[in-house]
C-alpha cells in the first residue's frame, strides 16, 4: 500500500481493494515501526485518525466520496488543530492545544482526508535543516546521519519514508522546496495568497505560504485543489478563482521556453548537483522544450533583503508570546519584567532568539530606514527581474539547493553559512511567485531537487511541467531501501 501515490490509493479505495480504515492502520503501523529512527512526528493521533477513517468509509458507502476521501496524511505542526496539540516544535508552545482548526486543516478535513498526526519542524519554521526543534532533529531517510532540510523536514522525511502518502508544509524562504529536494519528494510553494494563512502560526507574514508535500506533481495538484481558495479571515488571502490544478497535467510541453539563470550555475553550486540538474534539463529538451540562458542581476540581493525582512516580521509576530496569555511561563517571576524576560528567554530556542534580535534591531529607531526600508526596495528590484525574464520564457529552472544533504551538526555553529544555502529559494518568496521542487536524480547516493519557478498565478503550469518530467523519469518512485519494505 505505502508504495502507491495518492492517485493510485484513491483509485484503490474507489474500487474497494481496501478500506480507509485498513489503509490508516497500515500507515499507523509504519509510523510505530520506523519513526523512532526518523523523529518525523511530534504527535500521532491514532484514535482520531481511525475514527476519521471509519467516517470516510461510511461516506464512501453513501456515495459521498471525493478523490481524497479516506486518504491518510499529516499536518506540519504549525497548523492549528482543534483539540490536538500545536507546538511549532517549541518549548514555548509545548503544551498548547488550539481551540480551532486552521483553514488548511478545515479544507482537508472537509475532503475526508485522515490526519495521522503532526510533523516535526524547525522551531517556529526558522531553519533550513530541521535541527532547531525542541523535540530533537529530524533524520533524512536516505542517510540517518544527514539533515532532511527545513523547516518542513518532518513532513518531507515522513513522505520520503512512506510513513504517509502526503503532508502539508509551509514555505517562508524555501521550507517546502528545500526539504523536498533533500529527501527526494515533490513540494510546491503556491503563489503567495493562494492558500489561506488563517490558523498557520506566523513567522513572516508577507512571505509565509502553505503547500503540499507529496510523491508526485499529480498528487500535489490533487492536494492543492483542496487547499487553495479565498478566506476572508486572512487579509493576505488571494480573492481569485481557483482552477482545477489537475486539468492541464497531461498537456504536452513541446515548445516550452525554459530559462536558466546564469546566477544559479555559478560558484557555490556543488558540481555533482549541477550535473544532475543539467541532465534533467536535457530530459526536457528531449520533450521539445527550448532552453535559453537568462539573467536575474539582482538575485544576489535576495539574501540580505530576506534576512532583514523575515526577522523583522518574526520579531513583530512573536511578540505575542510573553508568558501572560498562553504558552510557556517561567516559574515564580519576581515582577512583570522578569516574567517577560525569563518566559521568552527560556521558552524560545537559540535560532528563534537570534532572529528576533536581528529583526528588533532592524526595526528600531534610527535603523528602520537604513535596513528594513532598504530591504523592501531591494525586494522590488528582485520582483522586477522576474517580470522581465518571464516576458521571454515560460518557466525558470535550476537547483533547489546548492548541495546534497549535509551531516547533522555540520553547519550548526555557523548560522551565516546556513543562511547562504537559501540562495536559490528565497527570491521566489520575496517576489510572491510559485515554486516547485521535484526529484531530479542523485549525487553521492543522496537526492537532488530541480526547482521550477513560474509567473504569478501559474501554479498549474509548474505542476504540468513537473508531471511531464515524472511521466518520463522514475526518480520520484525511488524509496530509501530500509523503508521500502
Q: What is the pLDDT of residues 419-477, one digit of tens each?
A: 878 899 999 999 999 999 999 999 999 999 999 999 999 999 999 999 999 999 999 99
Phi, psi of 72 (to 5 degrees): -70, 150
Residue among 128, 133, 175, 437 flagged as catalytic: 175
Give me the domains of the chain, ranges plus CATH numbers: 6-256+465-483 (3.90.1300.10), 300-378 (no CATH)
Output the CA torsion sign for 189, 194, 199, 205: positive
pLDDT of residue 329: 96
pLDDT of residue 413: 77
Q: Is the peptide bond before 319 cis (omega within 30 degrees of 0)?
A: no
Nearest residue to 223 (alpha-carbon basis) of 119, 72, 79, 88: 72
- Contact 292/258 with Cβ under 8 angstroms? yes
Which pLDDT tens digit goes with each residue over 280-315? 999 999 999 999 999 999 999 999 999 999 999 999
C-alpha cell read off for 132 = 532547531
Which pLDDT tens digit goes with each residue over 23-63? 999 999 999 999 999 999 999 999 999 999 999 999 999 99
Pick the residue with more confidence: 239 or 414? 239
pLDDT of residue 157: 98
Pick the residue with more confidence: 484 or 165? 165
CA distances from 189 to 258, 265, 337, 379 (A): 19, 22, 40, 18
pLDDT of residue 234: 97
Does residue 6 carry a pLDDT above 80?
Answer: yes
- The residue written with cell numbers 516574567 in the block is 339
pLDDT of residue 411: 84
Which pLDDT tens digit goes with each residue over 74-109? 999 999 999 999 999 999 999 999 999 999 999 999
- Contact 166/438 with Cβ under 8 angstroms? no
Rounded to 5 degrees, what angle do the CA atoms 281, 284, 289 make?
115
Nearest residue to 173 (alpha-carbon basis) of 2, 321, 306, 27: 306
Which pLDDT tens digit goes with each residue over 183-218? 999 999 999 999 999 999 999 999 999 999 999 999
Question: Is there a catalytic annotation at residue 151?
Answer: yes
Question: Is there a catalytic annotation at residue 76?
Answer: yes
Neighbours of 485 (CB within 10 A): 11
Nearest residue to 180 (alpha-carbon basis) of 144, 218, 220: 220
Which runs of E-coded beta strand occur in 298-445? 395-399, 435-443
- Contact 188/178 with Cβ under 8 angstroms? no
Based on its alpha-carbon atoms, the radius of gyration of the chain, rounded to whole angstroms, reads 21
Residue among 151, 155, 421, 437 flagged as catalytic: 151
pLDDT of residue 94: 97
- Cα distance between residue 335 and residue 283, in whole Å: 65
CA 181 to chain centre: 10
DSSP-derived secondary structure letter, 222: H
Residue among 76, 107, 139, 461 flagged as catalytic: 76
pLDDT of residue 275: 98
Does residue 9 carry a pLDDT above 90?
Answer: yes
Find residue 447's DSSP bridge partners.
Answer: 442
- Cα distance between residue 79 and residue 109, in whole Å: 13
Phi, psi of 131 (to 5 degrees): -95, -15
**Considering the chain, what percentage of its residues have pLDDT values greater than 70?**
100
Nearest residue to 228 (alpha-carbon basis) of 111, 115, 150: 111
Mean pLDDT, the chain, as a whole number?
A: 96
CA 279 to chain centre: 25
Which pLDDT tens digit goes with each residue over 213-265? 999 999 999 999 999 999 999 999 999 999 999 999 999 999 999 999 999 99
C-alpha cell read off for 63 = 456515495
H or E stretch covering 228? none
Amino acid at each position: 500500500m505505502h508504495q502507491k501515490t495518492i492517485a493510485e490509493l484513491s483509485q484503490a479505495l474507489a474500487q474497494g481493494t481496501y478500506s480507509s480504515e485498513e489503509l490508516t492502520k497500515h500507515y499507523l503501523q509504519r509510523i510505530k515501526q520506523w519513526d523512532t529512527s526518523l523523529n518525523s512526528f511530534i504527535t500521532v493521533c491514532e484514535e482520531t485518525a481511525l475514527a476519521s477513517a471509519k467516517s470516510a468509509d461510511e461516506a464512501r458507502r453513501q456515495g459521498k466520496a471525493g478523490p481524497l476521501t479516506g486518504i491518510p496524511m499529516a499536518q506540519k505542526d504549525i497548523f492549528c488543530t482543534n483539540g490536538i496539540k500545536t507546538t511549532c516544535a517549541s518549548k514555548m508552545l509545548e503544551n498548547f492545544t488550539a481551540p480551532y482548526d486552521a483553514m488548511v486543516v478545515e479544507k482537508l478535513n472537509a475532503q475526508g482526508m485522515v490526519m495521522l498526526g503532526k510533523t516535526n519542524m524547525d522551531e517556529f519554521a526558522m531553519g533550513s535543516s530541521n535541527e532547531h526543534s525542541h523535540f530533537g532533529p529530524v533524520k533524512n531517510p536516505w542517510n540517518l546521519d544527514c539533515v532532511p532540510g527545513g523547516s518542513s523536514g518532518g513532513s518531507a522525511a515522513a513522505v520520503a519514508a512512506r510513513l504517509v502518502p502526503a503532508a502539508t508544509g509551509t514555505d517562508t524562504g524555501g521550507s517546502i522546496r528545500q526539504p523536498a529536494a533533500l529527501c527526494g519528494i515533490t513540494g510546491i510553494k503556491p503563489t503567495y495568497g493562494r492558500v489561506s494563512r488563517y490558523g498557520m502560526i506566523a513567522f513572516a507574514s508577507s512571505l509565509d505560504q502553505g503547500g503540499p508535500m507529496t510523491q508526485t506533481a499529480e498528487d500535489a495538484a490533487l492536494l492543492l485543489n483542496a487547499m487553495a481558495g479565498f478566506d476572508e479571515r486572512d487579509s493576505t488571502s488571494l480573492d481569485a478563482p481557483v482552477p482545477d490544478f489537475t486539468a492541464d497535467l497531461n498537456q504536452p510541453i513541446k515548445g516550452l521556453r525554459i530559462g536558466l539563470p546564469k546566477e544559479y550555475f555559478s560558484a557555490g553550486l556543488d558540481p555533482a548537483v549541477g550535473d544532475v540538474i543539467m541532465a534533467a534539463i536535457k530530459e526536457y529538451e528531449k520533450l521539445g522544450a527550448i532552453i535559453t540562458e537568462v539573467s536575474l542581476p539582482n538575485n544576489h540581493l535576495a539574501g540580505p533583503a530576506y534576512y532583514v525582512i523575515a526577522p523583522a516580521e518574526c520579531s513583530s509576530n512573536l511578540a505575542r508570546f510573553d508568558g501572560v496569555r498562553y504558552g510557556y511561563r517561567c516559574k515564580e517571576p519576581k515582577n512583570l519584567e522578569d516574567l517577560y524576560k525569563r518566559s521568552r528567554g527560556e521558552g524560545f530556542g537559540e535560532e528563534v532568539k537570534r532572529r528576533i534580535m536581528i529583526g528588533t534591531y532592524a526595526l528600531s529607531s534610527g535603523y528602520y530606514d537604513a535596513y528594513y526600508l532598504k530591504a523592501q526596495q531591494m525586494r522590488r528590484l528582485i520582483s522586477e527581474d522576474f517580470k522581465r525574464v518571464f516576458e521571454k520564457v515560460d518557466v525558470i529552472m535550476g537547483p533547489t539547493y546548492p548541495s546534497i544533504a549535509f551531516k547533522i551538526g555540520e553547519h550548526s555553529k555557523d548560522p551565516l553559512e546556513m543562511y547562504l544555502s537559501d540562495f536559490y529559494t528565497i527570491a521566489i518568496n520575496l517576489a510572491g511567485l510559485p515554486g516547485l521542487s521535484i526529484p531530479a536524480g542523485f549525487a553521492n547516493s543522496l537526492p537532488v531537487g530541480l526547482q521550477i519557478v513560474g509567473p504569478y498565478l501559474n501554479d498549474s503550469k509548474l505542476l504540468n511541467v513537473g508531471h511531464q518530467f515524472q511521466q518520463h523519469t522514475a526518480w520520484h518512485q525511488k524509496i530509501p531501501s530500509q523503508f521500502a519494505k
